Amino acid sequence: MSAVESIDAELTELLRARGQRVTSQRLVINRMLRSRDQHVTAEEVLGAVTQTLPGTSLPTVYATLELFEQLGIVRRLNSGGGAVLFDSRTVDHHHAICRDCGAVQDIDDPAELSGVLQAARDAGFAPDRAAVVVDGLCAACAAAS
Ligand SMILES: [Zn+2]
Ligand SMILES: [Zn+2]
């Protein structure tokens, strides 16, 4: 099986398990996310798939990304500037986000956040997970300033 075929097969299995239809839009958007392996906006996804799927609209892309989030194959990342990014890397990790250019860098560190989660529970919140966002300047912006 080629890489694309196994990516398609994986998504097909997940969708069928949830009683969801397998559509070409879902397959193509998933392929794009797996091939980029980085943090993308819905607009970037639309721009990348629009050649393959000319009829695709932004609301369809958002709906697909939300479905992928429910399937656990994409995570939503609220960056400081208000843009919502979608992360195809679903293992626990943290992010450093540049306040100037918006660049996002994965940060891998086994940060001990159980105290944060407990404080959230104490406040009556039912947390899914906790992750750290480091604010500041990326290397390029820090060098230019
Ligand atoms: Zn920057
Ligand atoms: Zn990430």
Ligand 1 center–CA 142 separation, angstroms: 7
What pLDDT is recorded for position 68?
96
Domain shared by 74 and 97, yes or no? no
Domain boundary at 23, 46, 78, which? 78
Predicted TM-score (pTM) of this structure = 0.85
- 46 in a structural domain: yes
Number of domains in the chain: 2
The model's pLDDT over 87-118, given as tens digits with 9 standing for 90+, comes to 999 888 999 999 999 889 999 998 899 999 99
Please list the ranges in the chain whose pLDDT falls under 70: 80-81
Domain shared by 72 and 102, yes or no? no
Ligand nearest to the CA of 81: 1
Nearby residues for ligand 1 (ion, Cβ within 5 Å): 98, 100-101, 103, 138, 141
What pLDDT is recorded for position 81?
67
Domain shared by 16 and 62, yes or no? yes
Helices 3-17, 24-36: crossing angle, 10 deg rounding: 120
